[in-house]
Amino acid sequence: MRVLTKYIFKNLSLLLFNFFIAGISIYLLFDFLDRVDEFIEKKVVIKTIIVYFLWKIPLIISQISPGIFFLSIILFLSLVYNRNEMVALMSGGIEYKKLVFIIFSISLIFMFTHFFIIQELGSYGLFETAKIWKKEVRNKHLVKQEIFNSWVKDKNKIIYFNKYNLKKKKGNNIICYVVDLERQKVLKLYYATNFLYLKNKKRIILLNGISISPNKFLNSKYNKLELKAHLDLESIATLKSDFPKEALSVWKLKGILAHFKKNGSNITGILTTLYSKFSYSFSILILSFLSSIIVFFVKNIYKSFFIGLICIFIYYALFVTGISFAEEGILSPFIGAWLANLLFLGVCISFFPIILKN
């Protein structure tokens, strides 16, 4: 079994390498032809263009990994049948299901590698390429430096501000409601024309404002007032920026999710993106099962590969559709992100027992 495992791992690795080289080359070629005119028009230096396309590589690897792994297994198992190696293995007492078990073990390792390393590098690659494109071609910042008209909540404080500058750490026209959530009453209201936010001290410094106590019918002016508040303004700026949420790592998404849950904000889009990252890596396992089912029933290398291509296109179409439906509220974030996996898993469960029996 150890020799067989090494043989499978070696041949699968070789196929994966060749597929990745082909996939990356084709992707980069089309992307280069699509972007090169705008790079030249904006007179972007060659070094920056090279860095841009280098950052594209981890992104491409992350995006094509499940499909490439799926097709590699189909090709490998089809070659095993076509070369009569399967007959030799069965003569030696090694059944097809043992072959599938070894491939499943390799898929499990690849799945975790994709989730913890490849996908995270891909997210960072997407962020860096988007940043270069925005800065060099569009002459804009990727992450907005100013936030406008935002509501935030921290414990018993509900805060609204008209404008906040992340770089200067100051804003204007802020209203802070101190409320009794149980009795649904406003205990105090603070208004200021200008304010500062000290993230390290978790303090809002209100400047030139007025405080109102509705219960006591009192109001007073102040030049400077400190309020304790923990605000994640960077997360708000990130989500208000026009770059894909997929550029955020799982850990960053979890942090933003925790903050917005606390604030009672709409978290559908963030939750869908987070679930999609888990489901996309998990698809490697499901597609590895599907590949073994296709080859078991078809065996012909050309037919198996053609069916594999159709399946992978259907999978990606379902994956994108599910996420779109989840973001629009038609499906729940979990169902939307896992739609393709659940449907393909249903197909695998229907056919896989036949392999185990035979």
252 within 8 A of 228, measured Cβ to Cβ: no
Residue predicted with more confidence, 94 or 310: 310
Beta strand 203-213 pairing with 185-198: antiparallel
- Rounded average pLDDT over 24-43: 94
36-42: which pairs have CB atoms within 8 A and are 24 or more residues apart? 38/137, 39/136, 39/137, 42/136, 42/137
Task: Output the six-digit token pair for 149.
Answer: 């008209």
Residue predicted with more confidence, 297 or 88: 297
- Rounded average pLDDT over 222-250: 86
- The span from the CA of 231 to the CA of 241, in Å, is 18
Would you state the pLDDT for residue 284?
97
Q: Which amino acid is at 304?
A: S
Residue 220: strand pairing partners = 211
- Which one-letter DSSP state was computed for residue 118? I
The CA-atom distances, in angstroms, between 183 and each of 18, 60, 228 are 66, 53, 22
- The span from the CA of 63 to the CA of 221, in Å, is 57
In this model, does residue 47 exceed pLDDT 90? yes
Banded pLDDT at 231 (limits 50, 70, 90): confident
- Rounded average pLDDT over 46-71: 96
In this model, does residue 357 exceed pLDDT 80? no
Dmax of the chain from CA atoms? Answer: 93
Would you state the pLDDT for residue 358?
67
Q: Over the stretch 243-273, which tens digit does the pLDDT of each residue have?
A: 788 998 999 898 888 877 776 667 888 999 9
In this model, does residue 115 exceed pLDDT 90? yes
CA atoms within 13 A on the CB side of 322: 24
115 within 8 A of 281, measured Cβ to Cβ: yes
Give the chain's length: 358
Would you state the pLDDT for residue 154?
85
In this model, does residue 204 exceed pLDDT 80? yes
What is the average pLDDT value for the chain, to the nearest integer? Answer: 91
- The span from the CA of 74 to the CA of 307, in Å, is 10
Task: Output the six-digit token pair for 10.
Answer: 């070696």
In this model, does residue 344 exceed pLDDT 70? yes
Would you state the pLDDT for residue 264?
64
- The span from the CA of 280 to the CA of 246, in Å, is 12
Would you state the pLDDT for residue 206?
95
**Sign of dihedral through CA atoms 247, 252, 257, 260?**
negative
Would you state the pLDDT for residue 1?
64
Which of 84, 81, 116, 123 shows the shortest CA–CA distance to 248? 123
In this model, does residue 30 exceed pLDDT 90? yes
